[in-house]
């Protein structure tokens, strides 16, 4: 009897021989993780057995890469994967943990501690806590804050987070709240915005989160942006990055010149309505953007030159107001439906 497939989709994986990171198609089954060079390949490029394996998340072996998790096999071989956003990583981590636990005969899987050895109560669910913090009415309020000739949008101070955790009875005192906040920071739910908070996050201290009015943070999936001089880059953030993030994830995109297909990370924002795409293996600079105001998006069954590259199924097309055509492929039929619905909503409401 073939093992049941639990989850599949695009992730970025570090090569086991070379140190390069590449987007691969990953399939999680009951007893293994298989990865393919392309979704349409009939045989996997490699297989990771889960019997006796352990999972480390967040994995901080690569400081400049966020949302990384590590699978260590029974033979102590490490495999590193990177997700495109927090929610995607949480889905993969949860399902892989469940698969490992089932193989172990129902024994509880003990998760490896983070680099800073933060020990949180077993009853704490950081994912649920993050959802509460993001609540529009009762969560942590996102503000526009000015500091050292820079304006930070959609952010908040470290003190605000600690105060909120205590006021909502998620922590009994500031020390407990600091442990929770550091856990959220380590997991990638919260991100440091200014120089002070970045220094704290990189310090390696047990409580890397700073209970300080000058330490600024933002939600990982928020519309955060900084205006003015930045220690990271000396440019003004473009208007098109100011919208809230509506949806994000990896899609297969057809190039305009060579017509080849490559995995790209897409981030959909509203007001202004833009869809930016990135090389998922590299940094935060987009390769391009699609202005969605007035655009049309539809599911399609055929794309020119798609068969040549073994691309078939779950295709959709975006036609912009200037009649530029973009052909994309989602991982599943349900994912295609979600992307089409989200893009349609943004194209009508965003400016």
Give pLDDT, residue 121.
Answer: 56
Structure tokens at 164: 């909120």
Last residue of a domain, which of 39, 70, 103? 103
Residue 233, in any domain of the structure: no
Structural domain that includes position 299: 241-349
248 and 217 in a common domain: no
Concatenated DSSP letters for 4-41?
PEEEEEEEEEE-SSS--EEEEEEEEESSEEEEESSTT-
Supply the pTM of this predicted model: 0.63
At 289 the three-state DSSP class reads: strand
Give pLDDT, residue 107.
Answer: 44
Residue 108, in any domain of the structure: no
201 and 261 in a common domain: no
Give pLDDT, residue 204.
Answer: 60
**What pLDDT, in 10s, does the model give residues 295-319?**
999 999 888 766 666 777 899 999 9
Closest to 214 in 3D by CA, of 193, 196, 232, 190: 196
Instruction: Provide the Cα torsion 275, 35, 59, 225; round to 10°.
Output: 0
**What is the residue whose two structure tokens read 């390696």?**
204
**What pLDDT, in 10s, does the model give residues 113-125?**
333 334 455 567 8
pLDDT band at 242 (very low <50, low <70, confident <90, very high): confident
Residue 298, in any domain of the structure: yes
Closest to 211 in 3D by CA, of 159, 145, 157: 159
Give pLDDT, residue 308.
Answer: 63
91 and 47 in a common domain: yes
Last residue of a domain, which of 228, 258, 286? 228
**What is the residue whose two structure tokens read 């869809």?**
275
Structure tokens at 170: 């998620």
224 and 135 in a common domain: yes
Question: Is residue 230 pLDDT above 50, yes or no?
Answer: no
336 and 247 in a common domain: yes
261 and 223 in a common domain: no
Residue 111, in any domain of the structure: no
311 and 255 in a common domain: yes
Question: Is residue 283 pLDDT above 70, yes or no?
Answer: no
Give pLDDT, residue 206.
Answer: 62
Q: Which residues contact 127 (CB under 8 A, 6 or more apart)?
A: 90, 189
246 and 339 in a common domain: yes
Give pLDDT, residue 296.
Answer: 94
Residue 177, in any domain of the structure: yes
Q: What is the CATH number of the domain that holds 52?
A: 2.30.29.30
Residue 265, in any domain of the structure: yes
Question: Is residue 259 pLDDT above 90, yes or no?
Answer: no
**Of 42 and 305, more confident:** 42
300 and 339 in a common domain: yes
Residue 76, in any domain of the structure: yes
**Of 183 and 48, more confident:** 48
| Percent of all residues in the chain with a pLDDT value above 90, rounded to a whole number | 37
247 and 196 in a common domain: no
170 and 149 in a common domain: yes
Please give the C-alpha separations between residue 112 and each of 58, 97, 119, 339, in angstroms, as whole numbers: 9, 12, 10, 35
Calpha distance 185→208 (Å, rounded) = 8
Calpha distance 131→88 (Å, rounded) = 14
Indicate the number of domains in the chain: 3
Residue 218, in any domain of the structure: yes
Average pLDDT, the chain: 83
Concatenated DSSP letters for 74-128?
TT--EEEEE-SSHHHHHHHHHHHHHHHHHHTTSPPP-PPP-TT-----TT--HHH
């Amino acid at each position: 009897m073939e093992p049941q497939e639990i989850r599949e989709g695009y992730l970025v994986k570090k090569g086991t021989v070379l140190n390069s990171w590449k987007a691969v198609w990953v399939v999680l089954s009951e007893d293994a993780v298989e990865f393919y060079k392309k979704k349409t390949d009939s045989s996997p490029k490699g297989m990771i057995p889960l019997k006796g394996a352990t999972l480390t998340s967040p994995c901080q072996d690569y400081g400049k890469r966020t949302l990384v998790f590590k699978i260590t096999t029974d033979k102590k071989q490490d495999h590193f994967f990177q997700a495109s956003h927090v929610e995607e990583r949480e889905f993969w981590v949860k399902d892989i943990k469940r698969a490992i636990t089932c193989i172990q005969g129902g024994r509880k899987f003990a998760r490896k501690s983070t680099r800073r050895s933060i020990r949180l109560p077993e009853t704490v669910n950081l994912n649920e806590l993050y959802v509460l913090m993001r609540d529009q009415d009762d969560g942590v309020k996102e503000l526009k804050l000015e500091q050292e000739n820079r304006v930070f949008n959609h952010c908040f101070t470290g003190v605000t987070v600690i105060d909120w955790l205590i006021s909502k009875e998620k922590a009994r005192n500031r020390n407990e709240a600091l442990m929770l906040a550091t856990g959220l920071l380590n997991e990638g739910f919260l991100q440091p915005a200014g120089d002070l908070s970045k220094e704290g996050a990189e310090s390696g201290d047990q409580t890397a989160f700073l209970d300080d009015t000058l330490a600024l943070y933002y939600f990982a999936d928020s519309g955060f942006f900084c205006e003015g001089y930045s220690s990271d880059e000396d440019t003004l953030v473009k208007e098109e990055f100011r919208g809230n993030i509506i949806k994000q994830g990896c899609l297969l995109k057809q190039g305009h010149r060579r017509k080849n297909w490559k995995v790209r990370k897409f981030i959909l924002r509203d007001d202004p309505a833009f869809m930016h795409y990135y090389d998922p293996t590299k940094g935060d600079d987009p390769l391009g953007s699609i202005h969605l105001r007035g655009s049309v998006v539809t599911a399609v069954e055929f794309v020119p030159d798609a068969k040549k590259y073994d691309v078939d199924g779950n295709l959709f097309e975006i036609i912009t107001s200037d009649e530029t055509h973009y052909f994309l492929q989602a991982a599943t039929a349900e994912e295609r439906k979600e992307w089409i619905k989200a893009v349609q909503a943004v194209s009508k409401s965003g400016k």
